[in-house]
A = this chain, B = another copy of it.
């Protein structure tokens, strides 16, 4: 644990969320105020901005624009999906990173992302230590998938959950308006972890929920699914809303979407490249003759910052600040994490999680939070998730449309 004086480098990586920029705002806010931090850089396009000396001088940005970052979706600095090689096999990138760090006297490195990004952060952290260059490295978590290990939940998840629950409510109230049959299949993101799909259950507390929820944590059987929907239709005047994870798999672990794409499932002569929802809708359409609609929430669920959760924004901002404060105190090789404080009222405290563990472990929905029929979640999930979606964004509108942050992005790297 060393108290270092020098510049800091911040980068965003992986898929964007509604609040990843709130964490950026937190890092910048704190770093610009820390005496030990002499310069604040933001890398363009994640780690590739470091490798290419493509980064910005954040001190040149206006305070109001940095504040607006809290309410601006996506990754303001640009993002990347770039997997660093094992440095024992090929240390080219790592040498280059250290070279750049030395050139700009980078003593603090903050990497903001999900599992893969924490892997990058972890590798850099370990190599930097080995290299002898003193630099404190902290991961700032981010993922709508909520599948990072070592933290109660991930920044970005709650806002996506709030969007999904709200959208389910709106689809429910719209699609049940006629006396005619109506089936809706809504597809949520999350390849291996069902957190996002499960968040549809929050809508159920309002009376405008989904009837069926299918997570990737339990095997998905198309016939059982069809029967489940028909059962609901019988009970509920031929109306049913089902929410399905994009990542549902059969009992052999094969993605249902892949089965459809390969034509392995008889989807009545039509192979669809869309997600699983369109294919399932197609089967139900043929089977019932009812109106069946498929909804792929796609990018909308991760960038709809107009529906971001205040709790999520505030926590993500504070996660960024916490990372900087810890690094300045001398902490390194950790990821900022949330720990839920026991008690009646929802409260979290920030802790420093093991970076290696966070990088290599995927957290899925506990099986005991899924009902026995495998088609809904239990009250435990709702109790866990509901506090996270509380409060609304203070996003401003300008001329009737969202007002996003407008960064100058003054170039600070000189190749």
CB of A79 within 8 A of CB of B173, answer no
Q: Which of A274, A302, A309, A386 has the most CB of B within 10 A?
A: A274
Q: Which of B162, B177, B307 contacts A16 (CB 8 A)?
A: B177
A257 adjacent to chain B (CB < 8 Å): no
Q: Which residues of A does B touch, CB under 8 Å? A: 16, 45, 48, 72-75, 78-81, 162, 165-167, 169-171, 173-175, 177-179, 202-203, 205-206, 208, 270-274, 278, 282, 293-296, 298-300, 302-307, 309, 386, 389-392, 397-402, 404
Known contacts: A169-B402, A178-B45, A389-B400. The answer to whether A295 contacts B299 by CB under 8 A is yes
List, in ascending order, chain B residues with CB within 8 A of A272's CB: 270, 272-274, 278
List, in ascending order, chain B residues with CB within 8 A of A75's CB: 177
Q: Which of A73, A171, A273, A293 has the most CB of B within 10 A?
A: A273
CB of A73 within 8 A of CB of B303, answer no
CB of A73 within 8 A of CB of B179, answer no
- Closest B residue to A79 by CB, please name it: B177
Q: Which of A79, A202, A270 has the most CB of B within 10 A?
A: A270
CB of B16 within 8 A of CB of A170, answer no
List, in ascending order, chain B residues with CB within 8 A of A175's CB: 299
Q: Which of B48, B208, B273 contacts A404 (CB 8 A)?
A: B208
CB of A167 within 8 A of CB of B300, answer yes
List, in ascending order, chain B residues with CB within 8 A of A282's CB: 273
CB of A293 within 8 A of CB of B304, answer no
**CA–CA, A167 to B402, complex, Å?**
10
List, in ascending order, chain B residues with CB within 8 A of A295's CB: 296, 298-300
